[in-house]
Amino acid sequence: MTRSPALLALLLGAVAACGFAPLNLWPLTLVALAGWMLLIHRAPTLRTALWRGWLFGLGHFTINNNWFQHAFDFQDKMPPVLGYFASVALALYLGIFPMAAAGIAWRARSSIKAGSDAPFVLVFAAAWIATEYLRATLLTGYAWDPLAVLWLPVIGVARMSAWVGTYALSGLTIVAAGALLLASGRRWTLPAITAPVVALAAASAPFTHAPSPAPATPRIRVVQPNIGNDLRTADAGDYALDALIARSGRPGAIPRLIVWPEGLLQHLLENGYPAYIYDRRWPVDTRRRIASVLGPRDMLMTNATTLTFDARGDIDGAGNSVLAITPDGRIAGRYDKAHLVPFGEYLPWSSLLTPLGLARLVPGDIDFVPGRGPASLDWPAFGAIGIQVCYEIIFSGEVVDRHHRPRLIFNPSNDAWYGRWGPPQFLAQAQLRAIEEGLPVVRATPTGISAIIAADGRIVSSIPHEKAGAVEAAIPPALPPTLFARLGNLMAALVGLALFAIAVAIRRRGR
C-alpha cells in the first residue's frame, strides 16, 4: 500500500479531522477511516496494528484539538507556548483509544476466514463504540468530537442518534467507512446492507422536524456581548454588566427567559458572605440592576461565581453556578456545575503538579467545587429548565435529570478560550445532545457561537463568532422522550453487542 504505512496512518488521522467543524468535509473522514482500516487489516503483527492505530489517533486528535492551545493565552502562571506542547500531549494520550480499537479488530481479523472481511469491519465498529465510550468516561472523561458529530451536515443521519445515541452512531460510522472499503474491493455484502440504511436516514430528515412553537409560547432571549477573555480585567466588572444589560431588551406582553453567558459576570450575587468579600459591590444592588430589564413575568438566568467558607470564615471553595433572577431581584434557583474541567477549573494531583510550576488555566487560586449533577429548575411561566454549564454538554447521556425531564437545556459557555475551531465544534456537540434527548438546547457564550437549537438539532437562530448581538425567539417545543432519552448509553452496549453477534454469525456461516 505504501513504503511508510506508519507515516500514512499519521496522515490519515490528520485528514480524518477535516470532517468535523469548522471544515465539515465529512466524506474525507470516511475515506481516511477506510484507508486506516486497510492499514490495520494488512498489519503483519498485533504490535504493528497497535502502532498504526496509535499514530492515527495522534494525527487525528492533534489536528482536531488544535484549539486547546489557545486556552494557554489567557493566563499568566505558565508560558503560553506551553499550549502547543499540551495539545500534542493530549493527543499522545487520546491516541490510546483508537489504538485499542485497532488491536481488537486486528485480533478478530487474524481468526477470520481469509477473504471474509465483513466480520473484521463489524468487530472494528463494536470496538470503536467501547473505546469511544471509555474515552468519554475514564479519568473524568474527554468526550470531545465523537465520530458521530461529523454527520450534522447530513442531518437525517445525525438524527439516528435519537435512537441509538452518539457512541453507537460513531460505531455505525465505522461500519459505513468499512463498507466503502469493501466496495472498493468489490465485496458487496456489507455495502449492500449499509447504503440503504444511510440513504433512508438521510432521506428522513424532512419528516423529522420538531413542530413550530405555539403563538403564545414564552420567549427566550440570548445575549452575546462579544467580550473576550483579554478584556476581563479585575476592574472591568461594570463594563461587562452594562454590556449584558444593554442587550437584554425590554419587557413585552409575552414572558421572556433571558440568558447570559458563562464567565462574564464578576459581581457576587448571593447574600450572606462576610462583608469584606463584596468589595463595596453589594449583591442586592447588582441584582436590582439586573432586574431592571425584566418585566413582571420575565426571568433571567446568568452564570456567576458562588463561594463556600470554612468554620473560620475563610474561602474554601467556589462554585461555577447558574443563578435565576426574578423581576424583584431575588435569587429563585441555583445550579452548580458538576462535571468540572481538570486543569481548567481545578488542578488534579495538585500536591505533585504545583511544585513543577503547573497551574489551572482559569484565573484565581481557589479550585471550583463540583455540584451534584444534572438538575432542572422549575418556574410556572417557563416549566422545567435543565442546565449544563459549558463543557458538561459534551457528555452524551449525562445532561438530563431523568426523574425531572426539562422542556429545554440551557448551556452557558465561555467559548472565548477555544480559538476559531473550538466554537463550531462545541455548537455541533450541543446539536447532538438536542437530537439525542429530543430537547431544545440554548447556548449563550461571551464571544460566540450562541444559538437556539430546536429539539431535532436544527439551529433556529444564532449569533456568529466574535459578533455582539442578541437573538430572541419563541422557546422551541420539546419532543416526546426519544429511545435514547429512555435507555441512555445502554443503547451503545446493545448496538455494540449486535454488531459483534452479526460478525460471529457471518464468520460461522463462512466456515
Same domain, 493 and 452: no
Number of folded domains that form the chain:
2
Query: pLDDT tier at 352 (50, 70, 90 boundaries)?
Result: low
Stretch 270-276: mean pLDDT, rounded? 83
Stretch 80-94: mean pLDDT, rounded? 80
What proportion of the chain, given as a percentage, has pLDDT over 90?
61
Contacts 24+ apart (CB under 8 A), 70-77: 70/417, 70/418, 70/419, 70/422, 71/344, 71/361, 71/417, 71/418, 72/361, 73/229, 74/229, 74/230, 74/361, 74/363, 74/416, 74/417, 75/359, 75/361, 75/362, 75/363, 77/357, 77/359
In a domain, 484, yes or no: no
Same domain, 202 and 245: no
Range of the domain at 104: 5-208+489-510
Residue 325 has pLDDT above 50, yes or no: yes
323 within 8 A of 260, measured Cβ to Cβ:
no
Q: What is the pLDDT of residues 428-465, one digit of tens each?
A: 999 999 999 999 999 999 998 999 999 999 999 999 99
Lowest mean pLDDT among 52-56, 241-245, 310-314: 310-314
- Integer Cα distance of 357 and 344 in angstroms: 15
Stretch 8-34: mean pLDDT, rounded? 96
pLDDT value of residue 364 = 58
In a domain, 214, yes or no: no
Give me the residue label for grid cell 445515541.
165
Q: What is the pLDDT of residues 62-79, one digit of tens each?
A: 999 888 777 666 665 556
What proportion of the chain, given as a percentage, has pLDDT over 70?
86
Mean pLDDT, the chain, as a whole number? 87
Query: pLDDT tier at 476 (50, 70, 90 boundaries)?
Result: very high
Same domain, 436 and 308: yes
Q: How many other C-beta atoms can be found within 10 angstroms of the C-beta atom of residue 340?
A: 23
Stretch 222-245: mean pLDDT, rounded? 81
- Integer Cα distance of 91 and 276 in angstroms: 44
Q: Is-cis flag, bond preceding 449, omega within 30?
A: yes
Residue 200 has pLDDT above 50, yes or no: yes
Q: Cell digits for 407?
A: 422542556
Same domain, 23 and 54: yes
Stretch 494-506: mean pLDDT, rounded? 90
Same domain, 403 and 469: yes
